[in-house]
Copies of this chain bind each other. A is one copy, B any other.
Amino acid sequence: MGLAERILAGDLRAAARLMRDVDDGFASALEELKVLYPHTGRAYIIGITGPPGAGKSTLTDQITAAFRLQGKRVGIVAIDPTSPFTGGAILGDRIRMNRHADDPGVFIRSLATRGALGGISRSTGEVVNIMDAMGMDVVIIETVGVGQDEIDIVRMAHTTAVVMVPGLGDDIQAIKAGILEIADVFVVNKADRDGADRTARDLAVMLEMGKRQEGDWLPKVLKTEASRNKGIDELVAEFENHRQHLFSSGRIDHFLREKCAVVFSEMLKDRLFSAVLDRITADGRFNSTVESICQRDHNPYSAVETMLAEFLNRPATSL
């Protein structure tokens, strides 16, 4: 029995193994993912992001506990800060969320490397798909930071929570602007700290200033103290409100279509490039082209146009 069949039969070890194969870029993983794909699309995906130190892991832990009380199975994909050289996760699966470690209804996976199959967002997508096919009712994607990678990742989620803490200073203004539009709910965590009300008020003001269309979802600002389990039920209820809005407004169709378009486009881009790179690496032209660009004998723009003319099977007149 292949990994995919074993995963569909409930084998957790097979799931962990396939996730590792995806991360390592094994070609065999593609065949397994093809088998799993028709079984995806059922999980409700939640994105949790925000700056370091906002308490996202504790919050994820409490949200997981709340969903478990509802009898839901929860998958967690934690994107950890990565060293570009070692590719290792700073925080491993093992030290995360110990209290759920023995719960078979919770499956946790940390992702650190960008993933050989594509970028970190692609690897994350594949891991979410595997958890989805495993029958997880909810998949939580937790990322640190607010860069483009994180934005790409949380866009996969049906509902995204952006977590802030009081007193991060003026610079938070700059951070907030980048993630204002991706948040479906704002969480001011560590709400017992000084300035929590002000941070919540500032966020609410920014939200009102943001131009939204009639009928659009207006994100709420909720206060939590994750370490004392305060405000979690309200947050989980708000997730459900947003999910219902997605479906009742019909926006779910647009959301799913955009997501499929991104998945297909990114994959097509990576594999077109890999195929051409394999050929020009094998015949030595990658190295000689790079060398001539380095020496300024050729420019990279014309070199690329030469490759396009050669490898694409029709004259590239439209370029």
A293–B273 CB distance below 8 A: no
A33–B299 CB distance below 8 A: yes
B265–A273 CB distance below 8 A: yes
B82–A178 CB distance below 8 A: yes
A290–B260 CB distance below 8 A: yes
Q: Which residues of B contact A265 (CB under 8 A)?
A: 273, 277
Q: Which residues of B contact A260 (CB under 8 A)?
A: 290-291, 293-294, 300
Query: Can you spell out 5 A-B residue pairs with CB atoms less than 8 angstroms apart?
Result: A145-B147, A148-B149, A269-B272, A278-B318, A279-B314
Nearest first, the 4 closest Cβ-Cβ pairs linking A and B are A147-B147, A313-B313, A52-B171, A53-B171
Q: Which residues of B contact A94 (CB under 8 A)?
A: none
B301–A37 CB distance below 8 A: yes
Given A145-B147, A271-B319, 18 more pairs with CB closer than 8 A: A37-B296, A37-B300, A40-B296, A52-B171, A52-B174, A53-B171, A81-B174, A83-B180, A90-B173, A119-B148, A145-B146, A261-B290, A263-B300, A264-B290, A269-B272, A275-B318, A310-B313, A312-B313
Chain B min CB distance to A17 (Å)? 18
